Amino acid sequence: MRIDIITIFPEFFSVLDVSLVGKARQSGLIDLRVHNLRDHTHDRHRTVDDTPYGGGAGMVMKPEPWGEAIDEILGDVADDGPVLIFPSPAGELFTQAMARELAQERNLIFGCGRYEGIDQRVFDHFARTGRVRLVSLGDYVLNGGEVAVMAMIEAVGRLIPGVVGNPESLVEESHEDGLLEYPSYTKPAAWRELEVPPVLLSGNHGAIAAWRREQQLERTARVRPDLLPPAN
Ligand code: 6GU
pLDDT tens string 43-59: 999 999 999 999 999 99
Q: Using the mean position of ligand 1's atoms as its centre, give its distance from the Cα of residue 127 in Å.
A: 20
Query: Dihedral of the CA atoms 65, 70, 73, 78 (nearest 10)?
Result: -170
Q: According to the annotation, is 53 in a ligand binding site?
A: no
Indicate the Cα dihedral angle 66, 71, 74, 79, nearest 10°. Answer: 140
Is 84 flagged in the annotation as binding?
A: no
List pLDDT tens digits, range 106-158. Answer: 999 999 998 789 999 999 999 999 999 999 999 999 999 999 999 999 999 99
Q: Which atom in ligand 1 lies closest to the alpha carbon of residue 152?
A: 1
CA separation for the pair 13, 135 (Å, rounded): 19
Q: Give yes or no for a contact between 48 and 61, defined as CB atoms under 8 angstroms apart.
A: yes
CA distance 37 to 49: 11
140 annotated ligand binder: yes
Strand pairing of 49-50 and 60-61?
Answer: antiparallel
Residue with the nearest Cα to atom 5 of ligand 1? 142
pLDDT for 79 equals 67
Mean per-residue pLDDT for 8-27?
A: 92
The gap from C-alpha 106 to its chain's centroid, in whole angstroms, comes to 16
Contact 62, 120 (CB under 8 A): no
**CA gap 91, 94 in Å, rounded:** 9
Atom of ligand 1 nearest to the CA of 135: 1
Comparing 115 with 211, the larger pLDDT belongs to 211
Q: Per the confidence metrics, is the pTM higher than 0.90?
A: yes
Strand partners, 109: 4, 84
